[in-house]
Structure 1
Amino acid sequence: MQGTFAVLERQMVLYRRLWQASVFSSFVLPVLFVVSIGIGVGGYVGEIDGWDYLSYIVPGILASGAFQTALSESTFPVLGAFKWTRSYHAARATPVRIIDMVLGWQLYIQFRVAAASIVFLLVSAVFGAVHSPWVVLTPLICGLLALSTAASVSAFSATIENDSYFSLLFRFVMIPATLFSGVFFPVEQLPAVVRPLAYASPLWHGVELSRSAMLGGATPWPWAVHVGYLILLSALGLWWAWRAYSKRLRD
């Protein structure tokens, strides 16, 4: 694990110098969503499933923030480390193993997600959107959601040469997932033919787990199914990332 923590330490040093660039997307933007949509639009929406709209969407915004952070930190930074800065190639010339590169980067993303989640939860509590002591589990849920997303996206980023693929990823994966994975309204309101796409998204499982933890209700499916699905995606993503990193550095 020494190599893994060496990779994490490098990223933390870089983040300490560049953290101001992430303040808006990681901390300010989610709070603006709470105020504008949760309170502003919520005044017209009323209640959903017995909860005021603010309380209903806050867990979804929390999960979607983790999802978007994981996705964005696994695209340009990973491709750039292979193609432009070639920092992965430099690390390959050291005792750091490929699995250390994969795990170290994922630990860095976990730090980013945990910091943003804790700040967002504190703000949500001020607005009265926390209703259950199980809220303490939400940073862990967001971390698992982030891993299930970031591992596979990192693997994808390691296999491409052109960053234009990322615009397709953002347009046809991140945006639809954010809009149609239960963040702003129940998935049951979607046409039955497209619901399986929402169920396949890791974001939906993260949203439902977060909503259950923050509101104290039951999840649509048994919680073990939601957690197990995210763990499965995480394991497959880490394996794919290790294979993709290995091939890229060998070539």
Structure 2
Amino acid sequence: MPSIASAPSPALRELAYWLFRYRRTWRGTVVISIANPLLFLTAIGLGLGRLVDDGGHLHGLTYLQFIVPGLLAAAVMQTTYVEAAGPVFTSARAGGNYRAAAATPLRPADILHGHLLFMLVRVALTAVVFTAVGVGFGAVDPVRAPLVVLAALLIGCAFAPPVAAWAVTVTRPQLLTTMLRFVIMPMFMFSGTFFAVEQMPVWLRRVVECTPLWHGVELCRTLSTGTARPVPTVVHLLYLGALAAAGLVLARRNYRRALHR
């Protein structure tokens, strides 16, 4: 870690702190990253998938090929929320490590950027492991796997800054659970992860198509299956990229206000 800690970029020093903490917990998170996709793919992709496949394919895909990219996108969203909500909220409170870092030459933007880099490290680990398991099950083409991982990283970039921008302003921990229950989980269930959104009523489908997870699911799925078309792909990329940029601007402002009090 010394090479990072002594690096000229202040953000990398903040990243070094989070990596140092991660050295104590990485075993548990790696087990979860491997166990979750294995359980989901075995129970839903292979078990339920046999029943779905008996009735035909989804757009020419098996259910396993259909569900793996969706589960990857949803797993990245959940990982990002877990890493960006609770840790940011705790760190910004009195006695939190953000307060200690703010007392050093680190600026609020440096603290934010370093923590965001760590979140993307966690997203990358989740994406690589999940995609590798998908390749092992024959659900993801090995040639397209790197593109799927890059799409998953973009999803992490789209979620991490907005969640961090919100979490640094939260004053009651109950709000973190409320957000998980009423925003994150509904997106997980209804953004095309488990079934095609074409089956929904038109009005509900239009709502779903405005959510970032739907764009992430569609991007991962089309890249994974080789069905990506130029215009929809560009729309997904612009949507997720714009959300990441707007979230970063908002997060920089909120961190400055929260850590300069």
TM-score, normalised on structure 2?
0.92
Match of 1:196? 206
Offset at residue 117 of structure 1 (A): 1.2
Asked if structure 2 preserves the Cα contact closer than 8 Å seen for 1:144 and 1:230, the reply is: yes
How far apart, in 2, do the equivalents of 1:84 and 1:43 lie? 53
* Deviation of 1:218 (Å): 2.4
Partner of 1:17, secondary structure, is coil
Asked if structure 2 preserves the Cα contact closer than 8 Å seen for 1:78 and 1:158, the reply is: yes
- 1:96-150 CA-partner distances (Å, limit 9, x unpaired): 1211111111111111111121112221111111136232111211111111111
Q: Which residue of 1 aligns with 2:135?
A: 125
Aligned partner letter, 2:146: V
Structure 1 residue 225 and structure 2 residue 235: aligned?
yes
Count of aligned pairs: 251
Q: State the SS of the aligned residue for 1:106.
A: helix
Alignment of 1:17 with 2:24, yes or no, is yes
Structure 1 residue 24: Cα displacement: 4.2
Aligned residue for 2:124?
114
Query: Could you list the per-position Cα deviations for residues 164-222 of structure 1 after superposition, in whole angstroms to 9, with x for gaps in the alignment?
Result: 00111111111110111111111111111112221121111111111111110125952
Q: Hey, what does 2:42 align to over in structure 1?
A: 35
Determine if contact 2:197/2:205 at 8 Å carries over to the other structure: yes
Structure 1 residue 76 and structure 2 residue 83: aligned? no
Q: Using the aligned pairs only, state the percent identity.
A: 38
> What amino acid sits opposite 2:44 in the alignment?
I
Q: Distance in 1 between matches of 2:46 and 2:141?
A: 17
Listed as ranges, the matches of 1:90-169 within 5 Å are 90-131=100-141, 133-169=143-179
AA partner of residue 223 (structure 2): A
* Structure 2 CA distance for partners of 1:85 and 1:65, relative to 1, 3 Å: farther
> Aligned partners of 1:31 and 1:237: how far apart in 2?
32
Report the TM-score when normalising by structure 1.
0.95
Cα separation, 1, equivalents of 2:76 and 2:118: 13
Question: Which segments of 5 or more consecutive residues in structure 2 lack a partner in the other structure?
Answer: 1-7
Unaligned runs of 5+ in 1: none
